[in-house]
């Protein structure tokens, strides 16, 4: 799913399913924040002699329609204990006991294209954001919410996050919240928040804060106790050049957000950002191990570690070093690229890789990972725990 920046809302929805590329920077007002005091590390030449840092090695098992997956284009993945949910462009797949089951519109699903997934840990219910509404899967029964039968702000649901009794929803026309205890809906848009654009691509909620990834309006923060809104945007505004490194959000076109351990990880189509409430640290291909600045999705493992789903592979950052897992862009053969904190890079020999280099989502199952790609779902099984990633559960 390529939700790149475009200037027409109707085209935006078509591009979401067609995975087409377009660009369009958007200006917004700047909110100033302190810069990261440490300077950005310079990229160094590839080293053939330096011993690479110890990074997790995975054996990837890939699932496609040939194995029972509803469709090869997988937008989202959710780990639910021993069960795995996959949101595809042809239904919601459930992998359990080695077999796939598919839920479609005939079963009550809002739409066949499932863009986002979230788990209610209190009840075990699964929430699915689709191109035609929001669906709740509870004990095999599906209840669907749309603009016609509920307070949902728009039927195109890009993101969903469950926090306590609240279900937070990111849509193509603002964000909203459903209180499960009262059944009451609350809407958030340009009328009652600082967002200038209303295409909300992602949401990550916790008891203290809720963050929204907004196309063209940067990163929106809601402090739950006070109800106060804060807006974080790119200090460079319309320019695609990074003039002020680590002075704020890397770009206003924010594709997703992950809030874990009081740290915000934000992905954009022009690089990625980490924010600790005071300092920003930004990541670009020129000064990090990112394989591409075009990032569809980010998921924090903890305060220092995160996974970045890009159009040129899956990247893991451990707070200093990087690893990239993908089929080679030139040969298609599996490869694992490692970059240390000094910028030395190594290409490690591996025999498996994710199903495709266009990565759309990730979730954690212990030390294993499940990866949504444009050509299948991949299960990364940790084989060499030299430096196993610490995977904490965090809301989407």
Q: What is the pLDDT of residue 159?
A: 98
pLDDT in tens, 96-140: 999 999 999 999 999 999 999 999 999 999 999 999 999 999 998
Residue closest to 200 by CA, chosen among 113, 128, 129: 129
157, 129 Cβ separation under 8 angstroms: yes
pLDDT surpassing 50 at residue 391: yes
Fold annotation for 28-387: Methylamine Dehydrogenase; Chain H (2.130.10)
Domain boundaries in the chain?
A: 28-387
Q: In angstroms, how far is the first alpha carbon of the chain from the final one?
A: 17
Ranges of H-type helices in 232-391: none
Render pLDDT for 166-213 as a digit per residue (tens, 0 to 9).
999 999 999 999 999 999 999 999 999 999 999 999 999 999 999 999
- Mean per-residue pLDDT for 308-331? 98
Confidence of residue 236 (pLDDT cuts 50, 70, 90): confident
**pLDDT digits 0-9 by tens, 322-366:** 999 999 999 999 999 999 999 999 999 999 999 999 999 999 999
Please tell me what DSSP assigns to residue 302: S
Report d(CA 396, CA 380) in Å as an integer.
Answer: 20
Residues across the chain: 396
Does residue 303 have a pLDDT over 50?
A: yes
Contact 265, 225 (CB under 8 A): no
Half-sphere exposure of 198 (CA within 13 A, CB side): 17
Q: How many helices (H) and strands (E) does the chain have?
A: 1, 30
Say if strands 368-373 and 376-384 run parallel, antiparallel, or are unpaired. antiparallel
pLDDT for 45 equals 41
The pLDDT-based confidence of 291 (bands split at 50, 70, 90) is very high
State yes or no: pLDDT of 40 exceeds 70. Answer: no
């Amino acid at each position: 799913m390529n939700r790149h920046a475009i200037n027409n809302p109707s085209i935006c929805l078509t591009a979401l399913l067609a995975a087409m590329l377009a660009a369009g920077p958007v200006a917004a007002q700047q909110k100033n924040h302190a810069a990261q005091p440490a300077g950005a590390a310079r990229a160094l030449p590839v080293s053939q002699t330096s011993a690479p840092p110890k990074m997790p090695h995975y054996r990837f098992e890939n699932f496609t329609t040939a194995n029972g997956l509803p469709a090869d284009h997988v937008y989202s993945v959710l780990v639910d204990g021993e069960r795995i949910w996959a949101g595809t462009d042809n239904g919601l797949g459930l992998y359990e006991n080695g077999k796939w089951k598919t839920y479609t519109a005939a079963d009550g699903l809002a739409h066949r294209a499932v863009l986002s997934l979230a788990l209610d840990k209190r009840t075990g219910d699964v929430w699915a954001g689709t191109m035609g509404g929001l669906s709740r899967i509870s004990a095999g029964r599906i209840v669907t919410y749309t603009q016609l039968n509920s307070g949902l702000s728009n039927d195109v649901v890009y993101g969903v996050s469950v926090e306590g009794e609240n279900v937070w929803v990111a849509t193509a026309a603002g964000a909203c919240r459903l209180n499960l205890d009262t059944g009451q809906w609350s809407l958030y848009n340009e009328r009652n928040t600082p967002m200038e654009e209303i295409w909300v691509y992602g949401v990550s909620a916790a008891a203290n804060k809720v963050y929204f990834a907004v196309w063209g309006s940067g990163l929106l923060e809601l402090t739950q106790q006070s109800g106060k809104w804060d807006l974080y945007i790119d200090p460079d505004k319309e320019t695609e050049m990074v003039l002020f490194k680590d002075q704020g959000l890397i770009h206003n076109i924010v594709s997703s957000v992950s809030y874990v351990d009081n740290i915000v990880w934000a992905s954009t189509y022009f690089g990625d950002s980490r924010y600790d409430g005071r300092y920003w640290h930004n990541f670009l291909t020129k000064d990090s191990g990112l394989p591409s600045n075009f990032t569809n999705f980010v998921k924090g493992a903890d305060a220092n570690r995160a996974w970045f789903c890009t159009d040129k592979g899956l990247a893991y950052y451990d707070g200093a070093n990087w690893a990239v897992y993908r089929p080679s862009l030139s040969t298609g053969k599996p490869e694992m690229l490692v970059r240390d904190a000094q910028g030395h890079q190594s290409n490690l020999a591996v025999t498996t890789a994710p199903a495709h280099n266009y990565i759309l989502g990730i979730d954690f199952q212990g030390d294993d990972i499940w990866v949504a790609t444009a050509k299948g779902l991949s299960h990364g099984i940790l084989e060499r725990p030299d430096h196993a990633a610490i995977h904490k559960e965090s809301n989407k």
